[in-house]
Amino acid sequence: MSFVKIDKLVKRYGSLSIFDGFDLAMENTDRLVLIGPSGCGKSTLLRCMMGLEDIAGGTIRLGDETYVEGAENGKMKLNRKVQKEVGMVFQHYTLFPHLSVLGNLCLAPVRSRGIGKAEAKDKAMDLLTRFGLADRAEFYPSQLSGGQKQRVAIARALMLDPKLMLFDEVTSALDPELVNEVENTMMALAEAGMPMMIVTHDMFFARNIATQVVFQERGKVIEAAPPEELFGNPREERTRNFLRNVLHIEG
């Protein structure tokens, strides 16, 4: 039984259909990278997995529990206990601007998981030290660079010991010279064995970090394969066209 299983997912925005019976599976040793043209539903898929989107049909399972069960007319069922085992980092940081770095890390553990303040703080400092951000603990988000903000956002998600991490274009809003520090942090996390689903436009990073790359178009999986295969020898014509476009390869 796979670690994550998305089954017959149906997602619509009004009359616009994003997914109409979408399936995807992933193992807990996987780092799944989703690629595809803009508007093909990559980010929407992550948002569905986080329980941020109301889905009209299908199910999403994590471990041995189905935690999202779609239904028409906003009657979707969401198991919050399992939802809490999923962590997510967004494109635009979404740190809490009124709290310090430490405050950002400790808010959810203290307020929603009932962890003691001192314990949370210790854990936060450990994480920040690991990320080379210990000297920024008392800073406010507005005093940080984009790369630092994004690493704080990753640390904030890790505070809750997620079993699965979702990364939604986390380097897209960054200045080019700041992309590396965030990608390195994610690589370190990957080496530590964290299962991840990643949406990115950075094909080189995708190739480096992925165990499995999924090429998606118009709400359908066109091709899924290990990175060497998908980038080196794509089977589908549409995958080849897409890669040619984004990698600017002639012919």
Interacting residues with another protein (CB under 8 A): 47, 50-52, 80, 83-84, 86-88, 90, 92-98, 107-108, 111-113, 140-142, 156-157, 160
The residues, ordered by sequence, that sit 6+ positions from 198 with a Cβ below 8 Å of its Cβ are: 31, 32, 33, 34, 166, 167, 186, 206, 209, 210
> Shortest distance, CB of residue 153 to another protein, whole angstroms?
8
CB nearer another protein, residue 43 or residue 200: 43
Residue 10's φ and ψ, nearest 5 degrees, are: -120, 125
Q: CB-wise, 88 or 128, nearer to another protein?
A: 88
- We find the least distance from the C-beta atom of residue 130 to another protein, in angstroms, to be 19
Residue nearer to another protein on the CB measure, 37 or 103: 103
* Closest to another protein by CB, 20 or 69: 69
Here the tokens at position 140 are 């406010």
Identity of the residue, 164 or 224, whose beta carbon is nearer to another protein in the bound complex = 164
Nearest one of 179, 29, 163 to 91, comparing CA atoms: 179
Q: Shortest distance, CB of residue 52 to another protein, whole angstroms?
A: 5
Give the nearest distance from C-beta 124 to another protein in angstroms.
13
CB of 133 to another protein, least distance (A): 18
